[in-house]
Chains A and B, each alone.
Chain A
Amino acid sequence: MATKDFIIEQLKNEIAGFKTEAKKQSVGTVIEVGDGIARISGLSDALASEMLEFVTASGKKVSGVVFNLEEDNVGAVILGDYTEIKEGDQVNRTEKILSVPVGEGVIGRVVDALGQPIDGKGPIDSKDDYPVEKIAPGVITREGVRQPVQTGIKAIDAMVPIGRGQRELIIGDRQIGKTAIAIDTIISQKGENMKCVYVAVGQKESKVANIVAKLEEAGAMEYTTVVLAGASDPASLLYIAPYSGTAIAEYFLDKGEDVLVVYDDLSKHAVAYREISLLLRRPPGREAYPGDVFYLHSRLLERACKLNKDFGGGSITALPIIETQAGDLSAYIPTNVISITDGQIFLEGDLFYQGQRPAINAGLSVSRVGSSAQIKAMKKVAGQMRLDAAQYRELAAFAQFGSDLDEETKAKLELGKRLMEILKQDQYATVPVARQVLIFYALINGYINDVAVEKVREFEAGLHKYAVNNGEAVLKAIDEVKELNEQVERDVKKLIEDYKATMSS
């Protein structure tokens, strides 16, 4: 009885405290609806990119976003089921700019473009909302990129190093391992003090389910959020998803943490934006993309940054992905994004089918941040290696014609072949930076010259195993000292020689 009284007492208090005020609010009526967009009359004081609420005849509420503010109507995109909305339905303002819930609670979750969980693990516990669109940090708040992001992929860490706060484009045809590079990078951030956000735009949901399962298996979901706008979602959600992902990342940036964001992929994002723009009758330009498609991506990628100490020192590293058609880099969207980013990793179909995986074209791939995003030890071995790789490419093409080669050229070719073998790497088999230094050191100092080309990968696998079992101190030294001083170099040399001795015996 007492509890009943208590409940009634509480209810009384609640009701007494409940104030009703008739507030003046402005409303609109739908004059036209279709294909995920609506034209609304009224709403004269609506804000740009404000969230709207459509009240359908059945009483269901569907949200939308203001996109076009015109003289006598408002163009809005509908986020959700637009088949419910009919002409004449009432539209209410929410007086809120489009925002998504952010916080520690989103880590390890799969959310949709509006930040709502879609992994069936219950509601997300978050106190803050971040606006989806935000102006990028200004000049005074930034500093140069100097800390590395270790992708665990030998070819990238050595030749196109990525730094924290950098924007590195991954570009290539379909099905040649673009996503694989991004996923491997996320997996190898374990213990690197990085949060990761994987934004899937227009991807098959089965593929995303596979990725999430793989990340979970590798223990990477402990620091990763997946933002999913699948292939069957309306274009409006595909358009918003990358910005939502960035908003989630910005929460951690503001806390001074490092975040890695993967946008997979921005070509589909541009297509979704084109769809919305054409439906809203914005004039089409080249390839029917609207005039502001450059701004679409530049404002997104500008939000990647490295903040200086006074502003928390956090960073957002962006790995946008672009899919090309038959290797055509000069199409509209690829050229745009190439010019926005600080470098690109170019994947090539020919290399992929030759078995050179990851199929990174070392000639067309660059990192404009360069070696300042490498640890000193890596700088030392990789600088030499880039040169060897470039020379090999030149000579290999040239040597196809002649059989009479001088000793020096032959040696370079042999070294190049071994280098190409070492750059091969399986998916989900990331290599920590210390072990990368070890194998590259062995290569450039001629320890692998007497190993047959087809045995190189075996040799490498053996070296890694041997180093983990017997050379832990050396690996630790490289990780801690981060450079190859005399002491460390001597240890590395000894480790490799010891390993070779076990091989021959």
Chain B
Amino acid sequence: MKISAKQYARGLYEAVQEKKDGEVKGVLKKFIEVLVKNNDFKKAKDVIRNLDKIFREEEGILEAEIVVASPLKKEMVKIVKDYVTEASGAKKVEVAERVDKNILGGIIIKYEDKIIDGSLKSRLSRLKMELAK
């Protein structure tokens, strides 16, 4: 039976769960040996990507992206962070901020597959459409 990259990743994640830091190295070595033995080393990249995903999922870490026209103040970032934490139910939220002059003003928040578009640009374009009717 073929083992998918996802299954490898989950297996590895569970294997290192109860290990102490010192033991992890050994587990990793064993894991790579298994990969080579199964002729699946080419999946290593996928395994790493999946591991990242599983880790975030299990630990409740969420990545969020905010797009603004000019850099936000610290307090503002915290408000956004708190909002996303509450809305998504994640334990921890990592916020990446991106400055994009094109949105003119306001803010766009992205997390998981959700998007909250509060930018001035999209509001103006909606107004334009409304007026054109």
* A14 CB–B CB distance under 8 Å: yes
Chain A residues 1 to 32 lying within 8 A of chain B, measured CB to CB, are 11, 14-15, 18, 20, 22-28
Instruction: Report chain A residues within 8 Å CB of B127.
Output: 15, 18, 20
Give the contacting residue for B113; candidates A11, A14, A20, A44; CB below 8 A: A44
Within the complex, the shortest CB–CB distance from B88 to chain A, in Å, comes to: 11
**Beta-carbon contact of A22 and B118 below 8 Å:** yes
Binary flags per residue of B72-103, CB closer than 8 Å to A gives 1, else 0: 00000000000000010000000000000000
A15, A20, A28, A43 pick with most chain B CB within 10 angstroms: A20
Binary flags per residue of B104-121, CB closer than 8 Å to A gives 1, else 0: 001000001111111000
**Beta-carbon contact of B113 and A26 below 8 Å:** yes
Instruction: Report chain B residues within 8 Å CB of A15.
Output: 127, 131
Knowing A11-B131, A14-B130, A14-B131 are in contact, say whether A24-B123 is a contact too (CB < 8 A): no
Chain A residues 23 to 71 lying within 8 A of chain B, measured CB to CB, are 23-28, 41-44
Band of interface residues on B:
10 to 19
Band of interface residues on A:
10 to 19
Give the contacting residue for B116; candidates A11, A24, A28, A43; CB below 8 A: A24
What separation, in Å, do the CA atoms of A43 and B113 have in the docked complex?
6
Within the complex, the shortest CB–CB distance from A155 to chain B, in Å, comes to: 54
**Beta-carbon contact of B131 and A26 below 8 Å:** no
Number of A-B contacts (CB under 8 A): 37
**Beta-carbon contact of A20 and B126 below 8 Å:** yes
Instruction: Report chain A residues within 8 Å CB of B123.
Output: 20
Binary flags per residue of A248-276, CB closer than 8 Å to B gives 1, else 0: 00000000000000000000000000000
**Beta-carbon contact of A22 and B114 below 8 Å:** no
Instruction: Report chain B residues within 8 Å CB of A20.
Output: 123, 126-127
**Beta-carbon contact of B117 and A42 below 8 Å:** no
**Beta-carbon contact of A22 and B113 below 8 Å:** no
**Beta-carbon contact of B116 and A22 below 8 Å:** yes
**Beta-carbon contact of B130 and A25 below 8 Å:** no
Knowing A14-B130, A15-B127 are in contact, say whether A24-B118 is a contact too (CB < 8 A): no
Chain B residues 17 to 48 lying within 8 A of chain A, measured CB to CB, are none
User: Considering the complex of A and B, which 4 residue pairs feature the smallest CB-CB distances, nearest first?
Assistant: A42-B113, A22-B118, A20-B123, A27-B115
Q: A25-B115, A42-B112 are in contact. List 19 more A-B contacts (CB 8 A).
A: A14-B130, A14-B131, A15-B127, A15-B131, A18-B127, A18-B130, A20-B126, A22-B106, A22-B116, A22-B117, A23-B117, A24-B87, A24-B116, A26-B113, A26-B115, A27-B115, A28-B113, A42-B113, A43-B113
